[in-house]
Amino acid sequence: MPEFPTLAKLAEDLESGRTTSRKLVEACLARIADPTGEGQRAFIHVDKQAALAAADAMDGLRKAKAAPSRYAGIPVSIKDLFDIKGQTTRAGSRALDDSDPAEHDAAAVARLRHAGFVVIGRTNMTEFAYSGIGINPHYGTPKGAWNRADGHVPGGSSSGAAVSVLDGMAHGALGTDTGGSCRIPAAFNGIVGYKPTQRRVPLDGSVPLSFSLDSIGPLARSVSCCAILDAVLANEPIVALKPRPVKGMRLAVPTTIALDDLDAAVAATFERALKALADHGAIIERIEMAEFHDIGPMNAKGGFAASESYAWHRYLITSKGDVYDPRVFVRIMRGEAQSAADYIDLLNERRSLIARVNARIAPYDALVLPTTANTPPKIADLADDKAFTKENLRALRNCTLINMIDGCAISLPAHRAGEVPVGLMLAGAGGSDRRIFELAAGMEAVIRV
């Protein structure tokens, strides 16, 4: 797999004239169109002419010293969950095929365009974002990074987003994360994925899975790349990221649930990363998180994702339920049995959970845990529903812990070259986004040595 440049390097090349936006877009389009690649499965729609026109416009603005940002002209992909003006948003489904084209860009898309990023196309995803595996029976499933000839899952739900960055079909990707949908595909493909504090990025113009848990975040090649995109999405100034020294970092490893039932490669890679951090002076403490035991019972009836998705889908299911992915349909329908009292209990229990966890983790700079319990399974091995359900829950488990506490988290690749991809997740309480980025930038190079 070739190494592709970071956003900072691309910005330097654009500023110096070593490349142009037109060249970057043409190269991405060529990789998408390559019949031997994953482009036909990673993308649901490619807007070639609009991307080229936008590239030419950004090149013209740069010549006139009027580029809207250093990153103007860099192509990025957009998850099929977001509205793009003039296009139909299908959310990886066939049930929305006859929906009217969007009248406006989603807020997140508009912010990327305002900074000058070029939209290259809409990426494939788990239907309606309801799985951490990334399989899509309607548009095909892009193969992930690991042993591509054997066909391993890309992770979901932002499956095409991760593969687009991995294969140089885009240089950054817009994804969503309700229970790991940015972090899981990042972990399975050896890139970086970020789930921000939910309130940082408006959800307007995106198809909801759970409006209580949905977060909008980037997938990219480095911590710095994700920090740049996150700032744009949050409508904040792009400020140079200063890595924190590993020496003196106070990191807590939750031993409750997060370390259960790990694949051998995940456990070994995670422990090696912890040792590397400790060798560089990080203070690592393994702590019990009794509060995490409350999350399973809270989600026993399907939790927020089932109740809130059912509320959104219930009329569409009446007319189009027969074209839904059966695995997604079943999960949505769990919400039908939840009562108003069940939902109010969930709201109250989550408020209590957030307060208790925030108090527990306050003495530490961050939590550190494996992003997923499993390594990427083979696509063929998940044809059986029981096998699929087991691996899906293992992929989602650790990431969901952070969504439920309204936290922010980043997944960093922790494996070495030639090893199966494994992600290390760094997480904090809601509002600690900048600290998480600084910590992650400091440990990014250390954990893979």
If you average pLDDT over every residue of the chain, what do you get?
98
Please give the model's pTM, rounded to 2 decimal places.
0.98
Is the pLDDT reported for residue 237 higher than 70?
yes
Confidence at residue 1, expressed as pLDDT on a 0 to 100 scale: 64
DSSP 119-187: EEEEEP-SGGG--SS---TTT-----STTGGG-B---SSSHHHHHHHHTTS-SSEEEEESSSTTHHHHH
Whether the per-residue pLDDT at 161 is higher than 80: the answer is yes
How far apart CA 60 and CA 64 sit, in angstroms, is: 6
Q: Which tens digit of pLDDT belongs to each residue from 332-378?
A: 999 999 999 999 999 999 999 999 999 999 999 999 999 999 999 99
Active site residues: 79, 157, 181
d(CA 372, CA 183): 9
* pLDDT tops 80 at residue 151: yes
